[in-house]
């Protein structure tokens, strides 16, 4: 595999090729015999598991139909229970058979990814890390004022690094709110699914300035911000049509959002078309962006010779996206934006 053929930025091709040949290729090669053995075993076992899976699914649907017949036609709770137990038993057997067939290959895939992916990340520098420990809880981000009211939340993958002396943390997050009850079980609906990207920036400011696309900002945000922030009117008509700005300090907001900064935010919002919002608070900039993309998801396919091409190309694409925020918003500058 020639890394020069990878879809990565042109300026990285030569240095990354050297890095790949020195650190990544030998690691991939060291797993090759183990990979071939696991794939051969998986292929052999699938010849058994696949027909049994098809048979099991047929029995499951037959058992499910029997349950319906027993309850709706015969009105026989005993036969319904028998059919239900049979359906559950069959699905458990199907799951066990597929774990037996694919478990070893899946375990090896996980081991290879955990061993080699940090080496791939290492190309960008020692500060770069997937799912680092000791990250702040979601409540920490409430002080930025761009999160909607939510009842339940969870993080997925996180990634930290430093680019142009600007430390950043990207976090995948899902926010949900209560949506009544069904069958005595509380229901939830998703109100935000995307990423939060936190940048530690060198600019000095003491207040909170929020850039929102939500015209119902105060109606949909945490109530303690209602008394702290006031609307900031800016001169850029195009920016004003797209965003509303609220701040605890009118002068500081205009310092942060000069003409060039407004143009940059507007350009990013038009590029992503995904409800981009931002907040300056506590010497940091937090950007909230809706996204269905699953960041840093393993692309590794151990049925093929190991190259890590898919993971490498995806990592470059995802990090380039983060770097573009720093470049586009001039976040490494110590004054203005």
Q: Are residues 215 and 252 in the same domain?
A: yes
* Structural domain total, the chain: 2
Residue 312 lies in a domain: yes
Contacts of 214 (CB under 8 A, 6+ apart): 220, 244, 277
One domain for residues 105 and 165: no
Q: How far apart are CA 297 and CA 133, in angstroms?
A: 18
Q: Are residues 161 and 200 in the same domain?
A: yes
The token pair that represents 148 in the structure block:
């909607």
Domain holding 139, by residue range, is 129-328
User: What pLDDT does residue 37 have?
Assistant: 94
Positive/negative CA dihedral, 334, 227, 171, 269: negative
Paired with 247 in beta bridges are: 209, 230
> Which stretch of DSSP H or E encloses residue 268?
helix 259-272
Positive or negative, the Cα torsion across 103, 106, 108, 110?
Answer: negative
Task: Indicate whether 104 and 148 sit together in one domain.
Answer: no
pTM over 0.85: no
187 inside domain: yes
- Please indicate, yes or no, whether residues 114 and 133 belong to a single structural domain of this protein: no
324 inside domain? yes
Residue 20 lies in a domain: no
Are residue 112 and residue 148 in the same domain, yes or no? no
- 211 and 267 assigned to the same domain: yes
Tell me, what's the pLDDT at 216? 58
Beta-carbon count within 10 A of 206 CB: 10
φ, ψ at 9 (rounded to 5°): -55, 140
Decide if 53 is inside a domain: yes
pLDDT at 69: 82
How far apart are alpha carbons 157 and 140 in whole angstroms?
A: 17
Rounded to 10 deg, the angle between the 77-122 and 32-68 helix axes is 160
Residues 188 and 316 in one domain: yes
- The reported pLDDT for the residue numbered 181 is 84
Q: Given 83, 99, 122, which residue is the final one in a domain?
A: 122
The number of C-alpha atoms within 13 Å of 105 and in the hemisphere containing its C-beta is 22
- Output phi, psi for 97, to 5 deg: -60, -40
Whether residues 226 and 308 fall in one domain: yes
Q: Is residue 333 assigned to a domain?
A: no
- The helix (run of H) or strand (run of E) holding residue 120 is helix 77-122
Q: Both 183 and 278 in a single domain?
A: yes
Asked if 172 and 243 sit in the same domain, the reply is yes
Question: Which residues lie below 8 Å from residue 308, measured CB to CB, with a gap of 6+?
Answer: 24, 28, 116, 117, 120, 300
Residue 276 in contact with residue 269, Cβ under 8 Å? Answer: yes
Q: Residue 13: its pLDDT value, please?
A: 92
| pLDDT number for residue 259 | 85
Examine the domain organization and report whether 140 and 76 are in the same domain.
no
Distance CA 192, CA 155 (A): 12
Residue 114 is predicted with a pLDDT of 92
Residue 11 lies in a domain: no
- Supply the pLDDT for residue 336: 55
Residue 2 lies in a domain: no
* Residue 243: how many other CB atoms lie within 10 Å: 22
Question: Which residues of the chain fall below pLDDT 50?
Answer: 222-223
Q: Looking at 94, 122, 150, which one is the last position of a domain?
A: 122
Which residue do the tokens 């350009």 mark? 267
Domain closes at, from 62, 95, 122: 122
């Amino acid at each position: 595999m020639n890394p020069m053929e990878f879809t990565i930025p042109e300026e990285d091709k030569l240095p990354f090729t050297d890095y790949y040949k020195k650190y990544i290729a030998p690691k991939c090669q060291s797993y090759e015999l183990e990979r071939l053995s696991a794939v051969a075993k998986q292929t052999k076992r699938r010849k058994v598991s696949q027909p049994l899976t098809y048979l099991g699914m047929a029995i499951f649907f037959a058992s499910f139909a029997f349950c319906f017949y027993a309850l709706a036609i015969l009105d026989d709770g005993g036969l319904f229970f028998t059919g239900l137990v049979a359906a559950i038993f069959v699905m458990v057997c199907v799951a066990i058979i597929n774990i037996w067939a694919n478990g070893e290959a899946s375990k090896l895939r996980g081991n290879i990814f955990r061993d080699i992916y940090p080496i791939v990340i290492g190309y960008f520098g020692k500060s770069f890390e997937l799912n680092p420990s000791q990250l702040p809880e979601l409540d920490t981000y409430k002080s930025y004022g761009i999160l909607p009211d939510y009842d339940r939340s969870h993080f997925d993958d996180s990634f930290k690094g430093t680019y142009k002396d600007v430390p950043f943390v990207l976090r995948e997050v899902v926010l949900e709110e209560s949506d009544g009850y069904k069958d005595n079980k509380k229901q939830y609906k998703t109100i935000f699914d995307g990423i939060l990207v936190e940048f530690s920036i060198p600019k000095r400011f003491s207040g909170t300035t929020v850039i929102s696309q939500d015209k119902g900002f105060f109606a949909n945000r945490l109530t303690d911000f209602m008394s702290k922030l006031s609307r900031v009117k800016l001169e850029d008509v195009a920016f004003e049509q797209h965003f509303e700005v609220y701040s605890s300090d009118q002068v500081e907001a205009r310092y942060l959002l000069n003409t060039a900064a407004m143009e940059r935010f507007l350009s990013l919002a038009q590029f992503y078309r995904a409800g981009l919002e931002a907040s300056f608070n506590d010497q940091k900039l937090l950007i909230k962006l809706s996204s269905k993309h699953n960041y840093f998801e393993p692309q590794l396919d151990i049925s093929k010779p190991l190259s890590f091409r898919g993971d490498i190309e995806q990592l470059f694409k995802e990090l380039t996206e983060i770097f573009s925020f720093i470049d586009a918003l001039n976040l490494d500058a110590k004054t203005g934006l």
